[in-house]
Amino acid sequence: MAQDLLTQLKSMSTVVADTGDIDAIRRFEPTDATTNPSLILQAAQREGRRERLAEIARQATDIDDALDAVAVEIGSEISSLVPGYVSTEVSARLSFDTEATLARARSLIERYERHGIGAERILIKIASTWEGIRAARQLEREGIHCNLTLLFSFAQAQACADAGVTLVSPFVGRILDWNKAKWPDADFSGDNDPGIKSVRRIYEHYKGHGYKTIVMGASFRNTAEIVSLAGCDRLTISPSLLDELAQSEDRLERRLTPVDAETSPPEPQDEAEFRWEMNEDAMATEKLAEGIRKFTDDQRKLEKLLSELRQQ
């Protein structure tokens, strides 16, 4: 009997649900789940949650307290449905503040522990800025696992590996978006997709140098991108694309295969090298800034919703 693409994919890569939708997580049975401010906003706006959100908002000491309480509440519910990690994001406003990121990450872990969920189940999501990577380095030393997100460049990937972070999330679709806008007539199909090329380069570099950091492809625009990365450590996929995979019985071939490390890791980047490499990469610089703005914009919308609920 033929297996659907999603079942085949699960035999090659750890499938992660990119959603805060509890019903979708129940349906697709992923190993892990990731959230971000945009997904938390979507989940918070579901009609069945408004009464509970109002209760959280009224009990909170301020809006920041309410935001983290909502994120951890949804994350805790998700954790009961998946056996692996749940990713919860630090406020995007803190993307350039190492100390504030550290404080917020520790606070999130404490909140999860009060819900009976240990730090080993949580990935703290942090934007892959220099300041965010420095914070992740310290958090990993404290036993707090991190997911470095909004990752668009090899320089970011190298710095994350140097810092010993648990997992990185290269954004496949957003890399493609930028390149299609820049060169609208170019052929970016199949293996020509620049987002696919980016993830493969990172994956091969990590495996070839013995880094333990997990590579999780993210931000997919279509199932063809997912199929092209079959075998990647992890793939975080939206419910709509999970559904497409589950409906297809095409044959899936492994595209990425782990290899034994052949050489030792290169010398770690310093801050000047990192910033120069980012400056040289217009796509990564622009998409990182855009991503931070987008997450912050959705956070403001959630703040507005919680503020209104506090006053009801």
Catalytic residues: 125
3-state secondary structure of 265: coil
Count CB neighbours of 100 within 10 A.
16
Interhelix angle for 63-79 vs 50-59, to 10°?
A: 130
d(CA 97, CA 134): 10
Q: Say if residues 227 and 12 touch (Cβ distance below 8 Å).
A: no
Segments in the chain forming alpha helices (H): 5-10, 22-28, 37-44, 50-59, 63-79, 98-114, 130-141, 154-163, 172-182, 194-209, 223-228, 239-247, 271-280, 282-310
d(CA 258, CA 132): 28
3-state secondary structure of 80: coil
* First vs last C-alpha separation in the chain: 55
Cα Rg, the chain, nearest whole Å = 19
Residue identified by tokens 């590579």 is 215
